[in-house]
Structure 1
């Protein structure tokens, strides 16, 4: 199964939401469609960033990419209920390297 990764910048919390609600929302949303292999919070350029790695069912290459992009957008929508987001990047694992979709 193809492996994908999302990177989502978090620029702030919405009132009344604890920090842990951000990752919980991301994992829950992505987990409804795919197996989430890993998740972590990093600081990139001084800005928090969620990194989630997930698997997409194998079909055609373009269809897999499309499904990953749709799922990342749904994940972002879920996170935006609890936090203010920035840039979203979706990457695909190809020959041992992560490449933008």
Structure 2
């Protein structure tokens, strides 16, 4: 017999630990490689648990692939490990800086 107010009697919904979920429990779609490129990233950084990291250029990746899922296909060239995370490399600057807007804002403030 199920006690009132304790939630559903079935097993809990299994969630993917590589995804985010909203308050209603719906999966939030992660950023894609194309989305990272459009927002000014230089490429995708992959980092191993041994702290070795590498930059993957966008040309080697599928545009519709999720940034977090890039790590699933990688193996560390230093230690051979597979405990790898992936994220956009923002060291190239944000989109507004790449378009020259930061330079315009700086020159206007000195007038």
Q: Name the TM-score class by shorter chain.
A: 0.3 to 0.5
Which one has the largest radius of gyration? 2
Taking structure 1 as the reference length, the TM-score comes to 0.32
Taking structure 2 as the reference length, the TM-score comes to 0.30
Higher share of residues assigned strand: 1
